Amino acid sequence: MASVSFRQVRKTYGDLEVIHGVNVEIADGEFIVIVGPSGCGKSTLLRMVAGLEEITSGEIAIGERVVNRIEPAQRDIAMVFQNYALYPHMSVYENMAYGLKIAKVPRDEIEQRVQKAARILELSDYLKRKPRQLSGGQRQRVAMGRAIVRMPKVYLFDEPLSNLDAKLRAQTRLEIQKLHADLGTTSLFVTHDQVEAMTLAQRMIVMNAGVVEQVGTPEQVYLEPATTFVASFIGSPPMNLVNGVVNGNRFDFGDGSVTLPVAAPRQGPLTLGMRPEHADIVGEDPSGWRLQVEVVEMLGAERLVYGRLCGESFTLRIDATRPAPRPGDRLTLKERPEHLHWFDADTGKRVAS
C-alpha cells in the first residue's frame, strides 16, 4: 500500500488547460472519491495517476516515488474501468488470472490469489463460466477481481458502476465498501454520482472545471460546503441558494424579504444557502418565512415540497408521516439558524460566520 500525492498538477491540451494546479495528499489506505460533473477533469486526473495521460507540469507521487516518467506497468496500480473489458472467450478464472500469467507469477500463487479474490467477491461458484453467462453486476465483480489479484499499492476505479441498474449499483457499492475494509488498500474512485460519493468516500475531492473546489469527509462537504458549486452539486435535492442583500436583520431578495434569526456575517450582497431539510413548518409566526406551494412529490419516507419564497424557487423536505400540503397552500417556515450558510455573491466562496 502507499500514499498518493498531487503537487501542483496541471494538464493542458495545446492552449486549453483542463487541470488547474491540483494539490492533494491522500494517506496510505484511504478511500478517496473524486466527484464532479461530466467534463470536470476527474477521469483525466485518475488517468494521470495510472500513466495513461501525460502530466503537463507538477508531480504525482505514489509512496515516496514520483511517477511522472514511469511507465504504467511499473507504477504498481490496478485500474477498474466503466467498461468491464473482459475477454469473452475466457472463463472467469482465466480472466482474473490472465494478468498474473503475463507477469509470470508462479501457478500455485495464481491459484491462491484467484481463489481468495473469488471468495471475497462471492464468485467461487462462477469461475468456470464465460462472461456472457453472467449478469452485469457479476461481470463488474470479475473486473474488480482481476484488479484485486494484482495486489497493487493503489486501486483506481473509473466510474465502474455507471453501467449497472439502480439496485445493482447499491449492491455493488456495499461490496466495494466491504472490499476496502478487507484489503485496506489506497483507492481512488471517480464518479459523477454524488450519492455514490457520499456513501463510499472516507474523503471526497469535489472538482469543477478542472479545479478542486473542496476536499473533506462527506459530512464536512455536506454540512459546510466551501462554495456555492459544492452546495448545489452535493445533496439531492441540492441546497437552496438565493442571491440578495443583507440589511440589518433583514435579507432582501426576489420580490420581498425575510427576517434573519441570527445576524449575517456581514452586510451587503450575499448568497444565502439552506438545505431542504433544515426548515420546519410551523403555525402563524410573524417572523416566519412564507412559502407558496407549487408541487409536492411523494418519495416513500419523505416528501419534497417545491414552491416560491419571495418569488424565488425553494425546496422543502418533510417527513411523509405528516399531512401533505397541497399546491396553492401558503406555509410558514421556521428556519434552523445553525444551518444557514452564507457565500460571497461574486466569488461563490463560503463566508465564515
Which CA distances in Å does 85 have to 29, 41, 48, 89? 26, 23, 20, 12
Q: How far is CA 76 from CA 24, 73, 109, 163, in A?
A: 20, 7, 18, 27
* Residue boundaries of the structural domains of the chain: 4-232, 237-344
Q: How far is the CA of 170 from the CAs of 37, 111, 180, in angstroms?
A: 20, 30, 16
Nearest to 27 by CA among 3, 62, 6: 3
Least confident of 73-87, 117-131, 227-241, 310-324: 73-87
- The architecture (CATH level 2) of 4-232 comes to 3-Layer(aba) Sandwich (3.40)
Residue 126 CA to residue 84 CA, distance in Å, equals 16
| Same fold across 4-232 and 237-344 | no
Q: Is 237-344 CATH 2.40.50.140? A: yes
Task: Convert the pLDDT of each residue in 228-271 to its tens digit.
Answer: 999 999 998 999 999 999 999 999 999 999 999 999 999 999 99
Q: pLDDT, tens digit, for every residue of 15-32? A: 999 999 999 999 999 999
CA–CA gap between residue 326 and residue 68 (Å, rounded)? 59
Asked if residue 176 has pLDDT above 90, the reply is no
